[in-house]
Amino acid sequence: MTVKDRWLLWVFLAPTLLLMGLMLFYPMVGTVIDSFHDTSFINPQPRFVGWAVYEKIWTSRQFPEVVWNSVVWTLGVVLLQNILGFFAAMLLNQKLPMQGVTRALVLLPFVLPGVVTAILWRFMYDPQLGLINSLLISAGILDESAAWLASSNTAMAAVIFVAVWKGFPFSMLIYLAALQNVDKSQLEAATIDGAGAWRRLIDVTLPSIREVILVNIVLTLILTFNYFDIVWVLTRGGPQNATHIFPTKIFETGFGQFRFGEAAVYGVFSILILAMLVALYVIVQQGARNRRPTA
């Protein structure tokens, strides 16, 4: 590449880089700057306070709750969504009657907007009018109705269940595509060698789609960590902060209480965690690319 070509390259790249800088990095840098300032709606002139806001958040009783809830929420949703998505994909990879209709129906939760999903499940979980309690009582599993979203012991499990219900078709779609690319001859060879279904899954199918599984897990980690609407509509982070995760806390602190500096600190922690997850995603993808056989 000549010097002139190199200049031309930068000229063509400049608009994209400028746009990316403005749209992606300016808000992030702004958040980091805000986090070192005491700034709120009532004190709109930012006052530099160094690490003071970090110290305030770090020592608050809510911060460890938000971190713990975010970990439980993210890992819970990602694990269950991927396991369920994988087995649903295995099932739909078989020759089933009305295969197209079944696939469309399974995809339905994924295409519903998050707010609609949450409102639907709020009704389902209702202790007095909800379908879940009626079913469980009819089946003899419960003696009396339970307030799933109103107890600190069950609220997180209840919101995770909803997120898994909504998210598993996404994982299923990706796994289904991967399963359809598994080398049939390897499966046939394993069958001839006497491998049963379980052995074929462990020794042939899973190694063949290993990269897809890893990428899918990292991708759903990022998406789940950032999820807001289901949790907000179902519980608003309650009861007693039992379901407050980073996005709901940021929203409540910033827009509910006008404390922009503190919301920015929660935002910075979010950015750091997401940056690590994105790095993990890049590493996993790079690894997958390196392992791919070259033609």
Partner 1 sequence: MKTLLTSVAVAAMLTTSALAEDVTLQFWDNQQTESGLSKFQQAAIDRFMEENPGIKVEVTTVPYPEYQQRLLTAVQGGNAPDISTLDQIWIGAFAEAGAITDLSEQAAASGVEKDKFFPGAWDSANFNGGLYGIPFNVDVWQFSFYNKDLLDAAGVSPDDLKTFDGLRSAAEKLTKNGKFGVGLFGHRGEDTVVVVNSFIFSNGGEVLDSSGACALDQAPAVEALEYLQGLAEYAPKGILNASSGSMRELFLNGSLAIEFWPALEQPTLQSSDINWDFVNGTAGASGKAIGTYGGWNLAVYESSENKEAAWKFIEFMVREDVNGDVVDLLPANIAAAKAFVDKNRKGPDRILEHLNNAKPRPLSARYLEVADIQMTLYQDVFSGANVAEAAMKACEEIDALN
Instruction: By CB under 8 A, tell whether 23 contacts partner 1.
Output: no
Residues between 113 and 132 with contacts to partner 1, criterion CB under 8 A: 126-129
Instruction: By CB under 8 A, tell whether 237 contacts partner 1.
Output: yes
Which of 157, 240, 278, 283 forms a contact with partner 1 (CB under 8 A)? Answer: 240
- The 3-class SS string of the chain reads CCHHHHHHHHHHHHHHHHHHHHHHHHHHHHHHHHHCEECCCCCCCCEECCCHHHHHHHCCCHHHHHHHHHHHHHHHHHHHHHHHHHHHHHHHCCCCCCHHHHHHHHHHHHHCCHHHHHHHHHHHHCCCCCHHHHHHHHCCCCCCCCCCCCCCCCHHHHHHHHHHHHHHHHHHHHHHHHHCCCCHHHHHHHHHCCCCHHHHHHHHHHHHCHHHHHHHHHHHHHHHHCCCHHHHHHHCCCCCCCCCCHHHHHHHHHHHCCCHHHHHHHHHHHHHHHHHHHHHHHHHHHHHHHHCCCC
Residues between 146 and 205 with contacts to partner 1, criterion CB under 8 A: 146-152, 155
Q: What's the closest the beta carbon of residue 124 comes to partner 1, in angstroms? A: 13
Instruction: By CB under 8 A, tell whether 257 contacts partner 1.
Output: yes
Which of 258, 274, 285, 287 forms a contact with partner 1 (CB under 8 A)? Answer: 258
Instruction: By CB under 8 A, tell whether 134 contacts partner 1.
Output: no
Which of 30, 183, 256, 278 forms a contact with partner 1 (CB under 8 A)? Answer: 256
Give the interface segment with partner 1, choosing from 94-102, 168-176, 198-206, 248-256 (CB under 8 A). 248-256
Instruction: By CB under 8 A, tell whether 52 contacts partner 1.
Output: no
17 vs 116, which CB is nearer to partner 1? 116
Binding site for partner 1 (CB under 8 A): 41-44, 126-129, 145-152, 155, 235-241, 252, 255-259
